[in-house]
Structure 1
Amino acid sequence: MRELDIELFNRTQAQDEQALEQLYDRYEKLLFSFSFRMTKNKFLAEEVVQDVFTKIWSKQRNFDESKGKFSSWLLTVTRNATIDLLRKQKETPYEIDERDALHDSTPSTEEQVEWKERSEEVRVAVKQLTNEQQEIIELFYFKGLSQSKIAETCDIPLGTVKGRVRLALKHLRGILSPKSERGVLDDV
């Protein structure tokens, strides 16, 4: 599975539209769910997904397969895009238009079930971390705080925050590694 992701990514970087479509089909739901969890807004989550795939298409991105899985890198890009959008929204408040009010902002039943299953796996995995690592993951990934803000909030050195994030992600990767984002065993 890793090889296919990397191949599709490389083809997308070479402006292969079919490869971009395949990447989109493989990851759109996961990225939407992830962004929706942070924004609590369907339209903002959709905007983030569009932004991520636009960036992959229009810019040369730096993915280093020796540093981890493509899906993890893609989730990091999505997380950063979501945080950027949320910061932008704070600067210019989002106006709800009448036409926006007509749309249902809740995900489909299928998306809710898929997110619930995956979030339960992650919740169980996070509970296996130390208390310090759990707190750091909550602040960094689910509340969107920067590492420096976490250091300031928790009154600990920035290096400690970085180390805890790195170690927590390593432990989570080990706990969750038997399954990919789609719940299928990895080919590795």
Structure 2
Amino acid sequence: MAIGDDVSRGVTAKASEPTDLTQDLMAIAASQDQGAYRRLFHEITPRLKSFLMGQGTVEPVAEEILQETMLKVWQKARQFDGSKASASTWIYTIARNAKIDRFRKEARPMPDPNDPSYIQDPPETGEQSVAKKQESNHIREAIATLPSDQLRIITMSFYEEKSHAEISEELELPLGTVKSRIRLAFGKIRNELKDMA
């Protein structure tokens, strides 16, 4: 008697009979056949557990990965393509990926609440606020002293956020000239700021 006949009559196949994993997987995909899923589950899970534990996974974790794998088999059975892989290869791939995902999550360190990136900066004092404003004014004044050709390139680069290549193309200048003018502008701004200090 074929396994398909057993399923249609609601009879469970004897444990000694070989289970056709592909047939059961296709029955799950076609109609979410619970009998086929039960047979597939009993046939493949002992081997999967042995596979996981053979790779150094402790039993409780292997059990969790196994449950996650079999849930995915139920949910994703329609994605199985027998022309690309056998049913057991497809299921083992799901198990392997579930194991990898599990260990990646465990390997990811928990955020450290004392990490400086999580600690807020103290509120700005009045003195810091005034100093920032003065610095900002000094920079604006220094930029205003630039020759118009340098000022245009600095404006395009830092305020309009254009790349050197875009500036070169837009102003019809060689790329080297654009970079040179930016360097000259920075040198001039630096000197102006020193004089203001």
TM-score higher than 0.5 here? Answer: no
User: Normalising to structure 2: TM-score of the pair?
Assistant: 0.42
User: Normalising to structure 1: TM-score of the pair?
Assistant: 0.44
Whose Rg is larger? 2
Q: Which has the higher contact order (CA 8 A, sep 6+)?
A: 1
